[in-house]
Amino acid sequence: MFARNILLSSTLIFLLVIAGYGSCEDVSIHKRNGNDSIIQSSFSSRSFQYRGVALGGWLVLEPYITPSLFLEFNKTGGNESDIPVDEYHYCKKLGSETAKKRLEKHWSTFYNESDFALIKQYGLNMVRIPIGYWAFEKMKGDPYVQGAQKYLDKAIEWAHKYDLKVWVDLHGVPGSQNGFDNSGYRDIGYPGWLNKTENVDLTYKVLHQIYSKYGGHNITSEYYDTILGIEVINEPFSPKLPISDIKDYYNKAYDDGRKTQVINNTIVFHDAFKPMGYWNDFLSSYKNETNTTDIYNILIDHHHYEVFSAGGLNQTIEQHIKSIKDLSSDIEKEIPHHPAVVGEWSAALTDCTPWLNGVGLGSRYEGQAPYDNPKIGSCKDINNWSKWSKKDKVNTRKFIEIQLDQYESKMNGWIFWCYKTEDTIEWDFKRLVELGLMPQPLTQRKYIVNGTDTNTSSKNGSPTAPLNNWTIVLSSLLAIFI
Ligand SMILES: *[C@@H]1O[C@H](CO)[C@@H](O)[C@H](O)[C@H]1NC(C)=O
Ligand SMILES: *[C@@H]1O[C@H](CO)[C@@H](O)[C@H](O)[C@H]1NC(C)=O
Ligand SMILES: *[C@@H]1O[C@H](CO)[C@@H](O)[C@H](O)[C@H]1NC(C)=O
Ligand SMILES: *[C@@H]1O[C@H](CO)[C@@H](O)[C@H](O)[C@H]1NC(C)=O
Ligand SMILES: *[C@@H]1O[C@H](CO)[C@@H](O)[C@H](O)[C@H]1NC(C)=O
Ligand SMILES: *[C@@H]1O[C@H](CO)[C@@H](O)[C@H](O)[C@H]1NC(C)=O
Ligand SMILES: *[C@@H]1O[C@H](CO)[C@@H](O)[C@H](O)[C@H]1NC(C)=O
Ligand SMILES: *[C@@H]1O[C@H](CO)[C@@H](O)[C@H](O)[C@H]1NC(C)=O
Ligand SMILES: *[C@@H]1O[C@H](CO)[C@@H](O)[C@H](O)[C@H]1NC(C)=O
Ligand SMILES: *[C@@H]1O[C@H](CO)[C@@H](O)[C@H](O)[C@H]1NC(C)=O
Ligand SMILES: *[C@@H]1O[C@H](CO)[C@@H](O)[C@H](O)[C@H]1NC(C)=O
Ligand SMILES: *[C@@H]1O[C@H](CO)[C@@H](O)[C@H](O)[C@H]1NC(C)=O
């Protein structure tokens, strides 16, 4: 089923290359074209196989991705309580002038054009770019500094130049939709987004600006096929926010997307931590198995990690492999109703990377506060390649291969989180390639062939009873910040 789609996509990419090259150097993405009719993007999410990376930690800070920015605060006093926990507090602590200076430096250096060339060389076809609302509009009293929008625009131009697609991802909204540091504002267990109507109003306003700017009639025709999707909000946390409110936002966000945009691109919805199949009836024209006509052009975005619960961490590699296969089979059942991807995943088999759980929080793997599970293993040397054992390397490669195998064959593809980091191995696509853990080409396999591990050595012990399936893993994900 997908082989045909891949062929179709490469043909379109080829046509785009021969038609569009050479003229893109100096174009701004916002020349008026004077054409208000709906333009059919060549890339509906049904016919596109996503092979992407997220540019995490660039336009929205995350301490574990760029710890150097945050360790600055520990230099003088050596008092860790001085370290800000997120971008909001980073800006607040520094004041707008200094924050602006440091963030400009980060924005202009963490990614540049060369990254896009390399991303293309690695066989990827798209990037997901997280951005915070404050890059467009601020709330009264917000300490955030603006300026990231310019870099999003540059990223779109670079992506176009190297024939990569872009999915713009509204990753942080006022008050925070999940309380995670990656929304810009960490408030553990307390997503304040829906508390004030001003928060929600500003979210619609910002999303509207994103639609008009990246899909409205001002966009130059060269970019029609570059912006393949807009994600209306990242990871709204339904365990703490009423799902009816989230659905209401999703419906209105969709309507505005179609009204405002002249490009018929994909509107992307995160699953809001609901079980697989939950969104089957949402904006679906699905009639029966023979008529799966897709008139809405939406995409459901599932995120999957196995390191945010003690149970998930305490699995053997055989159990991890089984859990990926079970998850993927359940996503496969959604496909007649709507296209779906695993829009975030990583190579992590531990939660050991410093600050992965947040500044000042320890790891479940070592059973550190605030977690109270028994220790599972040692985190020492997690980012020190020379200390990785053969078994660590084999298991990580297997975990990557099973995910590529399943996410390629059972759904519309995948987006690895994230392309690069300062220090990590498990969360860094580029470093994983350099270390030989990420297949190159992406189809190369050392261990997993068609969903089966061909290298089950008895040395590693026989698989224990399957204590976990993905449902358990996923529901424990909800306990990330507990
Ligand atoms: C507007 O776009 C449509 C769809 O691509 C095209 O058929 C039409 O010719 C365009 N009109 C103008 C004035 O460019
Ligand atoms: C902060 O500085 C103190 C004193 O130099 C050091 O002991 C501590 O490890 C530092 N914290 C981090 C997170 O690097
Ligand atoms: C760090 O700062 C906090 C809050 O200002 C204070 O309570 C604590 O005693 C300080 N710790 C050290 C080691 O100075
Ligand atoms: C991007 O940054 C890297 C690392 O600093 C540098 O080697 C490279 O030349 C830069 N590329 C461009 C196009 O500026
Ligand atoms: C904000 O909303 C949360 C639930 O999402 C609720 O627990 C809290 O009391 C609310 N706070 C205010 C000030 O409304
Ligand atoms: C579109 O272009 C017009 C004319 O340059 C400008 O006034 C308007 O603000 C632009 N709209 C958007 C959404 O960028
Ligand atoms: C299939 O379903 C779509 C959407 O409901 C409808 O527009 C279309 O006419 C149907 N196709 C056939 C062959 O009945
Ligand atoms: C599925 O729907 C189409 C029309 O949309 C119809 O022609 C076909 O008979 C239906 N198939 C089944 C098995 O109901
Ligand atoms: C938008 O795209 C979908 C899916 O590709 C398609 O079915 C629909 O007809 C398109 N709508 C318009 C107005 O072109
Ligand atoms: C996972 O376990 C739950 C509860 O035991 C069960 O309902 C579900 O069908 C299982 N899913 C898979 C994919 O095995
Ligand atoms: C991990 O699994 C082992 C063997 O099944 C068990 O003895 C241990 O208690 C588990 N540890 C945690 C933290 O769940
Ligand atoms: C894997 O599956 C594909 C498609 O079903 C098939 O063509 C191929 O022969 C299989 N490879 C192996 C080694 O079984």
> Which tokens hold the place of 476?
């424990």
Ligand 7: centre distance to CA 302 (Å): 27
Q: How far apart are CA 163 and CA 116, in angstroms?
A: 9
Cross-strand bridge partners of residue 53: 127, 416
pLDDT for the residue numbered 47:
87
pLDDT of 43: 67
More confident call, 38 vs 192: 192
Question: Range with the lowest mean pLDDT among 19-28, 227-236, 395-404?
Answer: 19-28
CB of 320 shorter than 6 A to ligand 6: no
Q: Over range 308-332, report the average pLDDT.
A: 98
Give the pLDDT band (50/70/90) at residue 477.
Answer: low
Q: Which helix (H) or strand (E) holds 344?
A: strand 340-345
Residue type at position 375: K
Whether 318 is catalytic: no
pLDDT at 16 over 60: no
Helix or strand or coil: residue 168? Answer: strand
Question: Per-residue confidence at 56, pLDDT binned at 50, 70, 90?
Answer: very high
Mention every residue, 6+ apart, whose C-beta is less than 8 A from residue 468. 311, 312, 315, 319, 323
Which pLDDT score is estimated for 290? 81
Distance from Cα 114 to the centre of ligand 4, integer Å: 6
Q: Which of 316, 337, 341 lies closest to 328 in space, CA to CA?
A: 341
Q: Do residues 95 and 104 touch, judged by C-beta distance below 8 A? A: no
Is the CB of residue 445 below 6 angstroms from any atom belonging to ligand 5?
Answer: no
Ligand 1: lining residues by beta carbon, under 6 Å: 35, 37, 39
Q: Would you give the end-to-end CA distance of the chain in angstroms? A: 41
Q: Predicted confidence band at 188 (pLDDT cuts at 50, 70, 90)?
A: confident
The proportion of the chain whose per-residue pLDDT surpasses 90, expressed as a percent, equals 77
Residue to probe by mutation, ligand 9, list 36, 297, 298, most atoms within 8 Å of CB: 297
Q: Can you tell me which residue has the tokens 């670079």?
A: 158
Question: Is the alpha carbon torsion for 399, 405, 407, 408 positive or negative?
Answer: positive
Assess contact for 128 and 169: CB atoms under 8 A: yes
300 backbone dihedrals φ, ψ, rounded to 5°: -100, 130
What pTM did the predictor assign?
0.86
Average of per-residue pLDDT across 159-184: 97
- Separation in Å, CA 40 to CA 111, 162, 205, 258: 31, 22, 25, 12
Please name the residue whose Cα sits nearest to atom 11 of ligand 3. Answer: 79
Ligand 9 pocket check: which of 8, 260, 263, 264 to mutate, most ligand atoms within 8 Å of Cβ? Answer: 264
Provide the pLDDT for residue 45.
Answer: 79
115 vs 469: which has the higher pLDDT: 115
Q: What CATH number was assigned to the domain covering residues 9-480?
A: 3.20.20.80
pLDDT at 464 over 50: no
Query: Looking at ligand 11, which residue's alpha carbon is closest to its atom 2?
Result: 314
Q: Which of 89, 304, 320, 337 is flagged as catalytic?
A: 304
What is the per-residue pLDDT for 10?
Answer: 35
- How crowded is the C-beta side of 413, counted as CA atoms within 13 Å? 22
Tell me: pLDDT of 254 over 90: yes
pLDDT, averaged across the chain: 88
Cα(385) to ligand 6 centroid in Å equals: 50
pLDDT in tens, 390-404: 999 999 999 999 999
* Residue located nearest, by CA, to atom 13 of ligand 7: 291
For residue 177, pLDDT over 60 is answered with yes
Q: Is the pLDDT of residue 357 over 60?
A: yes
Distance 291 CA to ligand 7 centre (A): 6
At 289 the pLDDT is 79
Lowest mean pLDDT among 14-18, 50-54, 155-159, 314-318: 14-18
Catalytic member of 235, 334, 344, 426: 235
User: C-alpha distances in angstroms, 77 versus 80, 83, 90, 142, 362?
Assistant: 8, 10, 16, 27, 21
Ligand 6 neighbourhood includes 174 CB (under 6 angstroms): no
- 189-227 pLDDT, tens digit each: 789 999 999 999 999 999 999 999 999 988 877 777 899
- Calculate mean pLDDT across residues 151-172: 97
Range scoring the smallest mean pLDDT among 149-158, 209-218, 354-363, 459-468:
459-468
HEC profile of 202-257? HHHHHHHHHHHHHHCCCCCHHHCCCEEEEECCCCCCCCCCCHHHHHHHHHHHHHHH
Residues at CB less than 6 angstroms from ligand 9: 38, 40, 44, 264, 294-295, 297
Phi, psi of 202 (to 5 degrees): -70, -35
Side-chain half-sphere exposure of 310, counting CA atoms within 13 A: 14
279 CB neighbour count, 10 Å cutoff? 24
Rounded to whole angstroms, how far apart are CA atoms 195 and 186?
A: 15
Is there a catalytic annotation at residue 30? no
* Cβ pair 294, 285 in contact under 8 A: yes
